[in-house]
């Protein structure tokens, strides 16, 4: 399976299964991307993201996690 990983402060991982997908098919490739994005959201989830700096950090974390998947 693939993994999405938060960086750099701490290492968190979520396993993403894709055995049920044919990544050569556009529809399944979109499903995989959705799974990666959802995993990135989970690994970057933190309590207290209320100010703009924290929201930007969370957005950057999700971007890095999706890119590294």
Q: What are 16-67's pLDDT values in tens digits?
A: 999 999 999 999 999 999 999 888 888 887 665 567 777 888 888 888 888 8
Query: Residue 60 and residue 54: Cα distance in Å, rounded?
Result: 10
- Dihedral angle at the C-alpha atoms of 47, 50, 52, 58, nearest 10 degrees? 20
Its pTM surpasses 0.85: no
The predicted pLDDT at position 58 comes to 82
């Amino acid at each position: 399976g693939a993994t999405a990983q938060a960086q750099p402060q701490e290492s968190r991982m979520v396993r993403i299964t894709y055995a049920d997908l044919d990544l050569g098919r556009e529809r399944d490739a979109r499903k995989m991307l959705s799974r990666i994005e959802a995993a990135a959201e989970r690994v970057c989830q933190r309590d207290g993201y209320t100010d703009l700096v924290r929201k930007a950090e969370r957005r950057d974390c999700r971007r890095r996690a999706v890119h590294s998947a």
